[in-house]
Structure 1
Amino acid sequence: MTAALRIAHPPRILGLVVALCGAALALGGLWLVVLGGSFYYLVAGAALVATGVLLMRGSSASLWLYAVLLLGTVVWAIAEVGLVGWQLEPRLLVPVVLGIYLAMPWVTRRLTPSRGGVAALLVAALVAVGTGVAGFMQPVGTSGTMVVRNDAGGHDTSVPDGDWLFYGRTPRGDRFSPLDQITTRNVKNLKVAWTARTGDTMRPGEDKGGTDAGHEFNFENTPIKVGDTLYVCTGHSWVVALDAATGRTKWTFDPKADTDADVYLACRGVAYYEAPQGTQTDCPRRIIAPVLDARLMALNADTGKPCEDFGQHGFISLTQYLGHVPAGFHFVTSPPLVIKDRVMLGGWIYDNQAEGEPSGAVRAFDPLSGKLVWAWDVGHDPQNWTPGPDDQLTRGTPNAWGVYTADPDLGLVYLPMGNATPDYFGGHRRAIDEKVSSSTVALDIETGAPKWVYQNTHHDVWDMDVPVGPSLVDLPDGQGGSVPALVQTTKRGEFFVLDRRTGTPLTEVREKPVPQGAVPGDFTSPTQPYSVGMPSLTPKDLTEQSMWGATPFDQLMCRIEFRKAYYKGQFTPPQLKDTIVYPAFDGVIDWHGASIDPYNKLLIANANYIPFIISLAPREHAEAKGLVKPWDGTGNEPPVGGGLAPQYGTPYVGKVHPWLNPIGVPCNPPPWGTLAAIDLVTHKLVWEHPLGTTRDTGPFGTHVNAPLPTGIFNIGGNMTTRGGLVFIGATADDYLRAIDERSGKVLWKARLPAGGQANPMSYSVDGKQYVVIAAGGHSGLGTKSGDYVVAYALP
């Protein structure tokens, strides 16, 4: 009777599902083979179809066949990626789960008896599970111990230890707090000391970036702390003063910024200026802050009221001397650098829209009157000059949109330079553009005269602009003295260590050949500079074998897309077809930079890994299809959608998007975010570990997931303290973490009320140390939005 039931009721539905999945795998596998890829998916798909057919017939030979398939999958997986846990997961997890399911009694009792089938399948599943476990037991990253040099040098004392006066605490941009009340031993006791709300929250239409989807609202601010007050700026250019001990709001000023045309809404910081004693002004202490409609404002630091003697009733226009500025084509997100009676800033020029956009010139203003003191304009002779009322700064020049750093003793400011627009076609760039694009430039603070240029990407057609000024540190010279150095982080993941007096490399840099073959009308540099004397966080080149996915099916789609796309490794030039660019413009290290422990000569950097797809199309075809409308540069730009880069003035329209598979999972393997420590004396990688989990990310754009320790995308930077700690938010899983500087081990973490895509900072009031982070989320990353400023301290 039992045997008859088994024969009469085979698992037909299960068999049909298995067969259909196998057919999909086989068809995709056939496509991959045609493209020159692996045969595995075709063979595995065919075996899965056969397994499904045997299941529908009620034959236990299906178990034997699937056992062979599972064992073959294990052999193939190890041959492709070895014992690497996250690489084995998409290859083994789903096949193992299916194998265990097929061995369950409710399946096997409906199959024609055949000795050993279940046992063979269970053995195969056990081998596969063991292989996966062995893979996940392998160490991920690099573990080591730093060299302790507590007597080697010290921190910049120009800023009181308890204050945080600049974006990076000091003009050196080291993001290091000399406070040591919070240590590796007691950090586990950190509690919320206070939480403040700015009141400035996301508005309708600001949940995504891009001209077709609305604006992108982000809270990327690093507060500054002066005396007993914190100063914060928000995504709509509000400035809020908070009591540093309690978080109580002292004042708020809303400049009523017109942000309708701006696609990126953020303010990363404000600046502080204190007039010399005896200066005749009603505003001796002032906060100088950018406004997103291309203005600069000065506010009384004590009352929040505009300083009447600055420009026109507290405001100056940043579009003066720029000629025609289409709506949304120029604004400032970074804090100005205020030092030596100069307010220095550049600005964001709308990427990839057109040639001849407004000038990228850097300007210096008087912090009291707001008058222009000098402009650094690479298209003018001399480059540092003061334009008159009817003069215009050279259009289309490279801009410096990130945070600047400076050495006041040398009298130099260091600029992180971007590209002359647009980014993905450089065939029309001028010699003046080529010289300073994607470079670090040193200017005289008082006059704006250029002192040196160091370029880290030649003829940049990938948007590898330098997004933040270098961090300054004094390094031993090997003869008992020290050399004034700087470390320039890059989107490429390379670290260039230069003598900050001359721009001369202090560690070896080598020009290496890179892929060639630009689109007609453009060219590529035959070589690019690599900082071979320093560790690199640049990811390995992608291969078909390195493609990832949550399941074999989406991994297969990534393999197909990889084979279809054009890719020759790092610096693959954009083509007239889908081109994989990795690293890409989101960078390995973006606008947040790195931190430096000046005592232990240790650099801490958080890195981000996601490839992008870029493609170019002839302009006439794009306009004929209505993808972009013709524009001569007058008036405002016509609406552009679909993630397109119109690149007016060039022969091509571009398109760019992150490379995710159909379920929204990256095609490159984990880790997608890491934190690393580099010894600046020995030039060795001390440790590197994945940073963050998948808790708040998931397939199909969801934000609920198991907290898998893959390392995750991060936007925002880290801070190092004298207590031996590294504090970092940044990750898409909405935590603030405290990490042991010596080992990279996470010692403490706290759940934030919203995304912490900002650099944390630290200060003290009445002997009590606080750690503060802005928690307001990031539209582009998709983290929870809010308006929180959260402070932590020991009980």
Structure 2
Amino acid sequence: MSSPGTPRRALRITGFVVAILGLLLALGGVWLVALGGSAYYLIAGAGVCATGILLVRGLGTALWLYAIVLLGTIVWSIAEVGLIGWQLEPRLLLPVLLAIYLAMPWVTRRLAPARGGVVALLLLAVVGIGVGVAGFMQPVGTRGEMVVRNDAGGHDTSVPDDEWLFYGRTPRGDRFSPLDQINTGNVKNLKLAWSAHTGDTMRPGEDKGGTDAGHEFNFENTPIKVGNTLYVCTGHSWVVAFDAATGQKKWTFDPKADTEADVYLACRGVAYYEAPQGTQTDCPRRIIAPVLDARLMALNAETGKPCEDFGEHGFVSLTKYLGHVPAGFHFVTSPPLVLKDRVMLGGWIYDNQAEGEPSGAVRAFDPLSGKLVWAWDVGHDPQNWTPGPNDQLTRGTPNAWGVYTADPDLGLVYLPMGNATPDYFGGHRRPMDEKVSSSTVALDIETGAPKWVYQNTHHDVWDMDVPTGPSLVDLPDGKGGTVPALVQTTKRGEFFVLDRRTGTPLTEVREKPVPQGAVPGDFTSPTQPYSVGMPSLAPKNLTEASMWGATPFDQLMCRIQFRKSYYKGQFTPPQLKDTIVYPAFDGVIDWHGASIDPYNKLLIANANYIPFIISLAPRQEAEAKGLVKPWDGSGNEPKVGGGLAPQYGTPYVGKVHPWLNPLDVPCNPPPWGTLAAIDLVTHKLVWEHPIGTTRDTGPFGTHFNAPLPTGIFNIGGNMTTRGGLIFIGATADNYLRAIDERTGKEVWKARLPAGGQANPMSYAVNGKQYVVIAAGGHSGLGTKSGDYVMAYALP
């Protein structure tokens, strides 16, 4: 039995806790006001602190005071953000819950007088709940329905409908399956047909990205399907062949890749080549795949054994002609593009480490012999040439690390270009680097001769690489015919529609002024190109009022960080202090690109929204503090940690990290991931919805199993089908989803055993359609790791 003093003691404890919380809010509010921010937190914090003191003293006026605070909070919230549900949540949820708690009998029975205050609190709590509910009832995104066109000549017939021969099914990169057995009417019946294991799993030390942990193990593969076989590559460069109908493993080849120095372990796909009839080879059908230690290999598609006539016993070194290559400075994660007896690929050059890194030249090899046919090297005259035994490709040139696409009829391959390293300082870049950085480049497939360049970010000091080749589509020309077009997705969220013959924009592009003020020794372009003739998925500029948090406290910290940091909107140049960059190098749309329904001229894109913080520090200062060690480029690079970008050869050391608050929650508001449809004829946004939930994410990396529909971060792309469906994994909540292409509504989903950070694909065997996704997780995103290949079909 409790003593008479127990309720009184509990009231004092409650009052003490409330006072402390109010004091913390007020102190943070003082800091924010000193930085020029909102006075709300100071005023509200003082009111909450005073409420706690009155509770300790047992005075019923505490309830009236808190009622005033809550009323002011409701009015302030609506005035700042209107009726936007996720924006209201951190402003109202805890204050309303506290009001309800303070109105409970175990608090009020020791307060005098209290009845009027209780009524006021409960009424205001109801009002606060009503405002929040009204906010969440507002539609999120854009709702509409696509125009049904059914252009019978819409899709590329060079690949049989039941096959998936390239990363994007065809060299056009449209990621569209013409199969319609699975459609909007029966997708609800889709079941797991088979699952298989590659056998390649995460190893110790590969659970995080960057130089701190050393490695980041990811399963980003899109399988290809040839005949009755599915070919998959893994994070350690294994190639595995499965029976496409049953998932039975046919063979595995492990090239024993030395990945010790590689910070990013992934293989997004392999390529297929079939020799012309009559060719003298023991390996007429071959799988050509990258190896993470900078090799290229050719395997017998039937047996998995290396093709002896390719290079040296099945392997070609990709460091040849590159001069000195420090460990981990060059490897390939994307599949080569094989067309017209050319194996074309570039490679990833280690970002932000140094000037004068190995060449970013793109090369083409003979698919039978492995001999170098041509290299496209912007530092050579002519740019397309074949280096001799003692020649070296120009160091430090921009690289093209993403997936390539092509138009075989035009004989052109389209390259997504990155920057000359490093990314966050461009003061020493050469004119040849500036011309092709962050551009789409068209080359002649057979000769490597450049045909045109279209740049979508000038003097890029934000790492806005073009991360994947454009998707090709034929569009109406307004005169009864069609024009061969391409759509280039970007990390910026802009879509550039070009004539793929010439690189000329088909929709309006306008140069707009952007923030200026680069660090000493660098400069910024006065304008940047905006594709104003197309809808943009670029985020709105951040403001203090748009800062988010799970609670008022972490939201306050985000506001303080916002006020302390340098930010002038999109294209804010990195400074010698914390600089907010949004969108940032992870992109609105990254390496996964977009899919296109060629029948209905609809582009489908999944987007990400997370700001990053970049700062630069003078090199001499950073080296004096021991943050980085001096390096002259010889030998291997000294180990660098702490998220630092050493940028050797420049005056500055950089630091970059995602902008998360103290709870590891983003400072920008939901949605953090969306899926959108854009009509390529009318140039309108048809619909846009949040995609994914918080089921497998939470503060401090916890998993609360709370599937809040915030839209969530996603890595990996989507696929459209003739059945009117969009299939997408990608999201951090470990689901494969089917979306109705007409409206964007979810019509089916399946729980994956690990993260599905890969592009799904589809094919048919014996008339039965399958939808397949690699489910092996992504260390950078923090999803569950595994080695699964999951196939779904109708019963």
Q: What's the TM-score once normalised by structure 2's chain length?
A: 0.99
Letter of the 1:709 partner, please give it.
P
Pairs within 5 Å for 1:136-285: 136-151=136-151, 153-285=153-285
Tell me which residue corresponds to 1:382: 382
- Equivalent in the alignment of 1:113: 113
The answer to whether the Cα contact below 8 Å between 1:7 and 1:58 also exists between their aligned partners in 2 is no
Q: CA deviation at 1:6?
A: 10
1:242 counterpart SS class: strand
- Determine the structure 2 residue equivalent to 1:548: 548
Instruction: Give the aligned CA root-mean-square deviation in angstroms.
Output: 1.1
Instruction: Specify the alignment match of 1:302 in structure 2.
Output: 302
Corresponding residue of 1:742: 742
Give the conservation status (yes or no) of the 8 Å contact 1:10–1:110.
no
Name the residue aligned to 2:683. 683
The within-5 A match list for 1:116-127 is 116-127=116-127
Rate the CA distance shift 1:7–1:674 in 2: closer, same or farther, 3 A. Answer: closer
Amino acid at match of 1:507: T
Q: Which amino acid aligns with 2:536?
A: S
2:661 — aligned with what?
A: 661
Amino acid at match of 2:47: A
Contact kept in structure 1, 2:214 and 2:261, CA below 8 Å: no
Offset of residue 112 of structure 1: 1.4
Quickly say closer, same or farther: Cα 1:696–1:6, change in 2 above 3 A.
Answer: closer
The structural deviation recorded for 1:779 is 0.2
8 Å contact kept, 2:63–2:114: no
Q: In structure 1, what is the equivalent of residue 418 of structure 2? A: 418
Q: How many Å apart are 1:701 and its aligned residue?
A: 1.4
Q: What is residue 780 of structure 1 aligned with on the other side?
A: 780
2:24 aligns with: 24
Deviation at 1:44, TM superposition (A): 0.3
Cα shift at 1:9: 5.2
What is residue 433 of structure 1 aligned with on the other side? 433
What residue in structure 2 maps to residue 357 of structure 1?
357
In the TM superposition, residue 152 of structure 1 has moved relative to its aligned partner by 5.4
Give, as a single letter, the amino acid of the residue that structure 2 aligns with 1:220: E
The separation in 2 between residues aligned to 1:517 and 1:575, in whole angstroms, is: 8
Quote the Cα distance in structure 2 between the aligned partners of 1:84 and 1:115.
33
Could you tell me which residue of structure 1 aligns to residue 582 of structure 2?
Answer: 582
Q: Distance in 2 between matches of 1:8 and 1:766?
A: 77
Q: Distance in 2 between matches of 1:556 and 1:479?
A: 56
- Three-state SS of the structure 2 residue aligned to 1:14 is helix
1:572, 1:580 within 8 Å by CA — same for their partners in 2? yes
What secondary structure does 1:289 align onto?
Answer: strand
Please say if residues 736 and 756 of structure 2, whose CA atoms lie closer than 8 Å, have aligned partners that are also in contact. yes
CA drift of 1:213 comes to 1.4
Partner of 1:212, secondary structure, is: helix
Q: Distance in 2 between matches of 1:695 and 1:747?
A: 19
Aligned equivalents of 1:159 and 1:523: distance in 2?
47
* Partner secondary structure for residue 657 of structure 1: strand
C-alpha displacement of 1:59: 0.7
- Residue 10 of structure 1 contacts residue 57 of structure 1 at CA under 8 Å; is this kept in 2? no
Show the counterpart of 1:505.
505
Tell me which amino acid in the other structure corresponds to 1:759.
Answer: N
1:65 matches 2:42: no
Deviations 1:120-173 (A, max 9, x none): 000110110000000000000000010000135321000000000000000000
Alignment partner of 1:674 is 2:674: yes
Q: Distance in 2 between matches of 1:298 and 1:10?
A: 74
Deviation at 1:7?
A: 9.8
CA contact (8 A) 2:7 2:106 kept: no
Matched with 1:447 is 447
- Say if 2:61 and 2:113, in contact at 8 Å, map to a contact too: no
Report if aligned partners of 2:151, 2:598 keep a CA contact under 8 Å in 1: no
Query: Structure 1 residues 785, 6: closer, same or farther in 2, change over 3 A?
Result: closer
Task: Tell me the equivalent position of 1:56.
Answer: 56
**Cα deviation code 1:30-87 (max 9, x no counterpart):** 0000000000000000000100000000111111111111111000000000000000
Q: C-alpha distance in 1, partners of 2:416/2:692? A: 28
SS at match of 1:217: coil
Aligned partners of 2:221 and 2:267 also within 8 Å: yes
Whole-Å separation in 1 of the counterparts to 2:703 and 2:120: 39
| Post-superposition offset of 1:211 | 1.2
SS in 2 for 1:554: helix
- Tell me how far 1:110 sits from its aligned partner: 1.4
Give the distance between the partners of 1:9 and 1:311, measured in 2 at CA.
82
CA distance in 1 between counterparts of 2:702 and 2:321 reads 46
State whether residues 332 and 401 of structure 2, in contact with CA within 8 Å, keep that contact through their aligned partners in structure 1. Answer: yes
Contact 1:7–1:112 under 8 Å retained in 2:
no
Matched residue type, 1:52 = G
Match of residue 457 from structure 1: 457
Residue identity matched to 2:555 = Q
Distance, in Å, in 2 between the alignment partners of 1:602 and 1:69 is 50
Cα distance in 2 between the residues matched to 1:788 and 1:151: 37
Q: Which amino acid aligns with 1:309?
A: D
What secondary structure sits across from 1:13 in the alignment? helix
Could you list the runs of 5+ residues in structure 2 that have no partner in the other structure? none
* Aligned-residue offset at 1:210: 1.0
For residues 223-258 of structure 1, the C-alpha deviation after alignment (integer angstroms, 9 at most, x for no partner) is 000000000000000000000000000000000000
Aligned counterparts of 1:411 and 1:639: Cα–Cα separation in 2: 44
Shift of 1:10: 6.8
Deviation, structure 1 residue 704: 2.7
Distance 1:784 1:9, change over 3 A: closer
Secondary structure in 2 aligned to 1:688? strand
SS of 1:116's equivalent in the other structure is helix
- Structure 2: distance between partners of 1:152 and 1:33: 62
Question: d(CA) in 2 for partners of 1:724 and 1:308?
Answer: 45
1:478 is the counterpart of 2:478:
yes
The count of corresponding residues between Structure 1 and Structure 2 is 794
Alignment check: 8 A CA contact 1:216 1:779 kept: yes
Does the CA-based 8 Å contact 2:108-2:114 persist in structure 1?
no
Distance 1:338 1:7, change over 3 A: closer
In the aligned structure 2, how far is the partner of 1:272 from the partner of 1:771? 20
Q: 1:103 and 1:388, CA in 2 relative to 1: closer, same or farther beyond 3 A? A: same
Distance of 1:590 and 1:472 partners within structure 2: 17
Q: SS of 1:264's equivalent?
A: coil
Please report how far the alpha carbon of residue 5 of structure 1 lies from its aligned counterpart in structure 2 after TM superposition.
7.0
Measured after TM superposition, the shift of residue 448 of structure 1 is: 0.2
1:735-785 superposed Cα distances (whole Å, 9 cap, x missing partner): 000000000000000000000000000000000000000000000000000
Deviations along 1:462-507, one digit per CA (max 9) or x if unpaired, are 0000000000000000010000000000000000000000000000
CA deviation string 1:578-614 (max 9, x = no partner): 0000000000000000000000000000000000000
Amino acid at match of 1:168: G
Instruction: Give the structure 1 partner of residue 559 of structure 2.
Output: 559
Question: Partner letter of residue 487 of structure 1?
Answer: V
Please say if residues 5 and 110 of structure 1, whose CA atoms lie closer than 8 Å, have aligned partners that are also in contact: no
TM-score (ref. length: structure 1): 0.99
Q: In structure 2, what is the Cα distance between the partners aligned to 1:162 and 1:115?
A: 73
| Letter matched to residue 97 of structure 1 | L
Q: Are the aligned partners of 1:462 and 1:585 in contact in 2 as well (CA < 8 Å)?
A: yes
Q: Is the 8 A contact 1:417 1:436 kept in 2?
A: yes
Taking the aligned partners of 2:136 and 2:51, their CA distance within structure 1 comes to 29
Give the structure 1 partner of residue 794 of structure 2.
794
The answer to whether the 8 A contact 1:457-1:529 is kept is yes
Separation (CA, whole Å) in 2 of partners of 1:703 and 1:779: 15
Letter in 1 for 2:285: R
* Aligned residue number for residue 43 of structure 2: 43
The alpha carbon displacement at 1:100 in A equals: 0.4
* CA–CA separation in structure 1 for the residues paired with 2:348 and 2:235: 15
**Distance (Å, rounded) in 1 between the aligned partners of 2:210 and 2:404:** 26
Deviation of the 1:113 alpha carbon: 2.2
Partner Cα separation in structure 2 for residue 678 and residue 550 of structure 1: 32
Structure 1's unaligned 5+ residue stretches are: none
The match for 2:700 is: 700
In structure 1, what is the equivalent of residue 760 of structure 2? 760
Aligned counterparts of 2:6 and 2:117: Cα–Cα separation in 1: 15
> Identity percentage over the alignment?
89
Q: Work out the CA distance in 2 between the residues paired with 1:34 and 1:356.
A: 44
CA–CA separation in structure 2 for the residues paired with 1:742 and 1:666: 31
